[in-house]
Amino acid sequence: MEAVVWLEDVGKEDLSIVGGKGASLGEMIGIGVPVPGGFAVTAQAFRDFINRAGIADKLFEALNVDVNQETELHRAEQTAKKLIMDAKVPKDIEEAIKTRYEELCKREGKQVFVAVRSSATAEDLPDASFAGQQETYLNMRGAEDVFNAVRKCWASLYGARAIFYRVEQGFEHNKVNLSAIVQLMVDSEKAGVMFSSQPSTGEPLVVIEAAWGLGESVVSGSVSPDNYVVDRKTKKIVNRYIATKEIMITRDAKTHKTTTAKVPAKKKEAVVLTDKEIIELARYGEILEEHYGLPQDIEWGVEKNKIYILQSRPITTISSEKKAAGPAASGSGKILLNGLGAAPGVASGIVKIITSGRDLDKIKQGDIMVTKMTMPDMVPGMKRAGAIVTDEGGMACHAAIVSRELGCPAVVGTKKATSILKDGMEITVDGGKGIVYEGIVAQAAQAKAALPATAGGVFYSKPVTATEIKVNVSEPDRAEAAAATQADGVGLLRIEHMILGMGKTPNWYIRSGKTEEYISELVNGIKVVADAFYPRPVWVRTLDAPTDEFRAMEGGEGEPHEHNPMLGWRGIRRDMTETDHFRLEVKAFKRLHEMGLTNVGIMLPMVQHVSEFQKAKSIMRDVGLDLDKIDVGVMIETPGAALTIEDFIEDGIDFISFGTNDLTQYTLAVDRNNENVAGLYSELHPAVLKLIEYVVEQCREAGVKTSICGQAGSYPEMAKKLVEMGITSISANIDAVATVRDTVARSEKILILDALRNRD
């Protein structure tokens, strides 16, 4: 893997290389969205740096602390950051960063200002936002300054708040890497955040927040922004809230540094966006939601009347009838404050005024946290709070995002909460309406008592569907969140994510005589998910990592350099040539079954001929796996496998699962990461749908289970078509399970209704 890659050369499948932010930027460039160009310093370059510098062991040992002990936490931060900043970066990595910046300048015809932004390989996942955990450095200019900013981004992966958040979210430090995104700086005259769907309820309403200057003021919550709402059905602006904008963040013309200034008097209460800009932004929001198949949280800026999209990630916090904190408050309570309803639900409690992170000990379980605006270091207190109220901020500020993620009612942008509310007051917070009441409103207490107790305060009235709804799991750490969706099983557990997280290639373990350690790592990781879902099936995909991902790992020095790794030595084609490694995987599966975890099934990726399946089964038998007691299936990712499905059925396959990302690329001869042809990529292309339908029909007749685990399975339009075809199950990402389940339930009812009508 190269140390640096152009953003236009990556996409949403490259999370492990450029992190969530980088993958999203590359994906948007590929579909023609106006994104400032730039490059990414890969996560593998970061891992290569700490390995070659010899600091990895010391680094992760320093992070093994009790994060709830502030002294220990800050000592870990200081030690880790010092290790990063003092270590010598290998010359080839340093030169690659500086050279690529100079190439970017040549592209633009001048020495450019750039933003150097952190993109963790575990951030912006559907169920964890990682909001504000790493640093961004704005207005960098010159190769040396850019290189130093990249080092600071690397170090920020080990800031106190980032360490705390990873531990609280269950992410292991040594499995999270960081890519630094170097992107042309947009000197925005106005900027903000947009949600392609209402971020609390998921309604088809585009919510746009805007302020003067750079968007940091909106994201941080330091300013209360304008708020505009566009109805996606009518394409009309249905609501406007024009805030008083007190401050703005801009780039100083002389020092080139960002600075906070007062908004000129004539702009304080002026409308930030024109109607044309609002509608154009809403259009981009719809495009991105349709492309990703999920509601999006989007950062944008306007420079010289041109709109730029700066970031897009899944909204991690949408609730619905199935996910709520109770009905709205009503009744006799006097209204004390009005603000923006940033996180739904109703809670009553005692006010605790917080002026800084040092006051957090004041907050006991269920207290109402009241502050000017929240900071990332306040998260421990936010977790104990019954509700949160702030003076400043909008729907995209830190308080709003974290509150929605925690399921904690929140009202933001009240302007005067810290002056009107006093320590010890009893209040009721309605996070849906954006109202703070005096006293304990009766309905709030009744609502809380009426809620069913489930993990994380989330409850579901789950519709029963004949088509099973499964879930995709990327890391064992997400098993609990995945199980909370009440999915019918795991349609895809990716084994390569566990392997990449080890930092050493499988061949390193084999050459070092540590195969038992390797097998144990696999068993322990898979076991977490299998335990969480038992007896529901968990289909584990065997190794499917391209060679470029292994090259930067310890033991990857001999990896071949392939012109197109996605078409190269990966999946079953690697397993059937490196059979020593495949045998270790099979031994892990055998051990899991011996533990009683008979719900674990094996899924072989990238097959294109039945002989590969036959050879794999032969090795499984040789290792001692009883194939009568374990489900073995294949991924249908190549037209070759789809068009010869009868051969696999005849050979006794138990199930198949469609990997639509690869199947689409290989069917249409389209590289999604190539901006010249990415617009031709569509999982709904008639040829792709015909291949899927053919396989489903053949498998249905033979009694073979069929599933889909590619991103397309989360698209409502695709889900509807799959139900009509008769697919056995659909496996969606964690955040999309509820939506797909509803779509499938509705589609099944339509089919039943149509059948009844036709019979009559």
Catalytic residues: 398, 709
Q: Cα separation of 186 and 310, whole Å?
A: 9
| Alpha helical stretches, state H, 624-713 | 639-643, 645-650, 660-668, 686-702
DSSP string, 744-755: HHHHHHHHHHHH
1 burial type by CB count under 10 A (0-12 exposed, 13-18 middle, 19+ buried): buried
Please enumerate, as own/partner, the contacts of 561-570 that have beta carbons within 8 Å and a separation of 24 or more: 564/671, 566/662, 566/665, 566/671, 570/544, 570/545, 570/546, 570/605, 570/606
Question: What pairs with residue 236 in β-bridges?
Answer: 231
Query: Which DSSP helix (H) or strand (E) runs through 618?
Result: helix 610-623
C-alpha Rg value of the chain to the nearest Å = 26
Q: Is the dihedral of CA 119, 120, 124, 130 positive or negative?
A: negative
Q: Is the dihedral of CA 625, 627, 628, 631 positive or negative?
A: positive
Residue pair 737/685 in contact (Cβ under 8 Å)? The answer is no
Tell me phi and psi for residue 421, to 5 degrees.
Answer: -85, 145
Kindly give the pairing relationship between strand 632-636 and strand 600-604.
parallel
Residue pair 118/178 in contact (Cβ under 8 Å)? The answer is yes
Q: Cα separation of 340 and 433, whole Å?
A: 7
Measure the CA angle with vertex 410, ends 405 and 412; round to 5°: 115
Greatest CA separation for the chain: 79
DSSP string, 489-541: SEEEEEHHHHHHHHSB-HHHHHHTT-HHHHHHHHHHHHHHHHHHHTTS-EEEE
Q: Is the dihedral of CA 280, 281, 286, 291 positive or negative?
A: positive
Q: Cα separation of 47 and 52, whole Å?
A: 9
Residue pair 505/556 in contact (Cβ under 8 Å)? The answer is yes
Residue pair 713/660 in contact (Cβ under 8 Å)? The answer is yes
Measure the CA angle with vertex 675, ends 95 and 720; round to 5°: 130
* Distance in angstroms between the alpha carbons of the first and the last residue of the chain: 62
Nearest residue to 218 via CA among 396, 21, 416 = 396
Q: Is the dihedral of CA 601, 604, 609, 613 positive or negative?
A: negative
The total of other beta-carbon atoms located within 10 Å of residue 504's CB is 20
What's at 438, amino acid-wise? E
Tokens linked to 83: 């290790």
Q: Cα separation of 41 and 116, whole Å?
A: 10
